[in-house]
A and B are shown apart, each in its own frame.
Chain A
């Protein structure tokens, strides 16, 4: 039987790591992910895991130690947030291009500056092209479940890519919620052992890792890496199916909430999905046909699937908890828009809302405002402004003009 407990998102992640029992954890503390290595180091001290815990002097070293450990044939894990992830940047690309299936908990926090230790998605969105698989989690349960599935996805022979499991800093990382944990033996059997075909400690088949890769071959390696990301799509679904059989919890590329007869929908990541579901329910009581598409997998980006799912709506709002500062739209918006464009015309009308920057609170009323805007677009067929900011303080005159 599954175990009922109540844990914060950070505790749930640390418990998942304990059950996975990796060979190496190398981490440096940074708010709001600090508790993950902190809890994990108590498991190490108590002898609850066999892990070598490397208390490094920076996140650059944390990721470098993970690269070394994983290249040596071990399972390496880490956790970080915001500037910690930024300091890993160089090594993130190296981990991915060397095809090392390292697993990271990324507790999303605003990237400085100005210094803000709270939540938005600027950290992981900045790393979106580093070659890491990215899973996003609405709540503690999903953060835990995604972590249990991470190794199976990353280490699949068709994939061999690192993976980060994202959750919202503070909002889920520090909020205690009920959770259903899996028994240790069940996790052990599901995650299995890591047996890489090539690694540095196999003395009968010595290899070199990370050599100079000049114009003659570098492109071929990158093409191979791109293919691995493409193949990760079917592996993610396959692993989710197997996970559903043992947990009863179902995961795909995204979750559709009350979309069957919906005229308009919002697309977003992580914890705001809970708020959006609440707003959807309230608006449904008023007879408004609104729905939600909560994306779980951002890398690989399920472009065809998301375009197909959004096709039936009259209007779609893509919600970005990170700005691209490109004068064109947030990262999720530009990817969703390009997926819809490639599918062909005419698709739904599409608008972008940048929201929750630096953990500006997002209330049900904010989501209701978004849905009412969408219904307005659906009714008039007219899109006023495509690239919008939700919840930023404006002068009265600007606020009144927005509902055009």
Chain B
């Protein structure tokens, strides 16, 4: 699941929320709102998808610890969601067809 179907509006916790208005004990009452928290800038290495080599075997998708490999309704993987990819490199390691390069983030 790419997480795009039947989605509810996600509520973010505003950065300036006063203490009286924050949820009790840190409860998250808007499921999936982690998506609103962009973690891509934690990355120092990044995976690069090479669609011409990709066989769509989908071995990469389930190993991503985040949800940074979107899969569309036809069940095909698409290009990375770099807003959430943390650059762990697991997908590159797992790909049996060298369809993922793993490079320095700098460029």
Contact = CB atoms under 8 A, between A and B. Distances in A.
A338 B25 CA distance: 29
A97 B25 contact: yes
B62 interface: no
Interface residues of B, number: 14
A73 to B, nearest CB: 13
Contacts of B22: 217, 220-221, 224
A336 to B, nearest CB: 29
Contact of A209 (B18, B19, B25): B25
A220 B19 contact: yes
A98 B28 CA distance: 11
B18 A207 contact: no
Given A217-B13, A217-B17, A220-B19, A208 B24 contact: no
B26 interface: yes
A129 B35 CA distance: 35
Interface in A208-228: 208-211, 213, 216-217, 219-221, 223-225, 227
Interface in B15-48: 15, 17-20, 22, 24-29, 31
Interface residues of A, number: 23
Interface in A66-99: 97-99
Contacts of A205: 29
Contacts of B18: 220
A216 B26 CA distance: 12
B28 to A, nearest CB: 4
A211 B19 contact: no
A211 B26 contact: yes
A47 interface: no
A258 to B, nearest CB: 43
A206 B17 CA distance: 22
B19 A224 contact: yes
A194 to B, nearest CB: 15
Contacts of B27: 198, 207-209
A125 interface: no
B28 A211 contact: yes
B25 A208 contact: no
Given A207-B29, A224-B20, 12 more contacts: A98-B26, A198-B24, A205-B29, A206-B31, A208-B31, A209-B27, A213-B26, A217-B13, A217-B17, A221-B25, A224-B19, A224-B24
Interface of B: 13, 15, 17-20, 22, 24-29, 31
Interface of A: 97-100, 160, 198, 205-211, 213, 216-217, 219-221, 223-225, 227
- Top-9 shortest CB links A-B: A99-B25, A208-B28, A220-B19, A223-B19, A98-B25, A220-B22, A206-B31, A213-B26, A99-B24
8 contacts: A99-B25, A198-B27, A207-B28, A208-B31, A209-B26, A217-B22, A221-B22, A221-B25
